[in-house]
Amino acid sequence: MVRWPLPWMMTDVTEEDRAIIRYLQDAVADGGRYFRAKTIAEAIGLSSKQVGARLPRLAEKTDDVEIEKWGRARSTTWRVTLG
């Protein structure tokens, strides 16, 4: 499996963005599909607000992981699949 991002890709991606993508790739590979920013944030050491603000932008930037806003009850749920 190729890990995103490759060194020559997307120079405007931060380390925090990379951590989110790596987490999502690993979690989806392990069978996860639906995520909340809070869960991702706790796993990688960011705030849920930081993760929630980055997910819509990452959804447009990456092809290796498809990130889709899925539902909103008390907090947004994100549906994630491997690209």
Q: pLDDT tens digits for 49-79?
A: 999 999 999 998 888 799 999 987 778 899 9
What does the pLDDT look like over 3-45, one tens digit per residue?
555 554 555 788 999 999 999 999 999 999 999 999 999 999 9
Structure tokens at 82: 């491997």
Question: What's the count of helices (H) and strands (E) in the chain, helices before strands?
Answer: 3, 3
The full set of domains in the chain, from first to last, is 15-82 (1.10.10.10)
Per the DSSP assignment, residues forming a β-bridge with 78 are 35, 69
What are the phi and psi torsion angles at 67 (to 5°)?
Answer: -115, 125
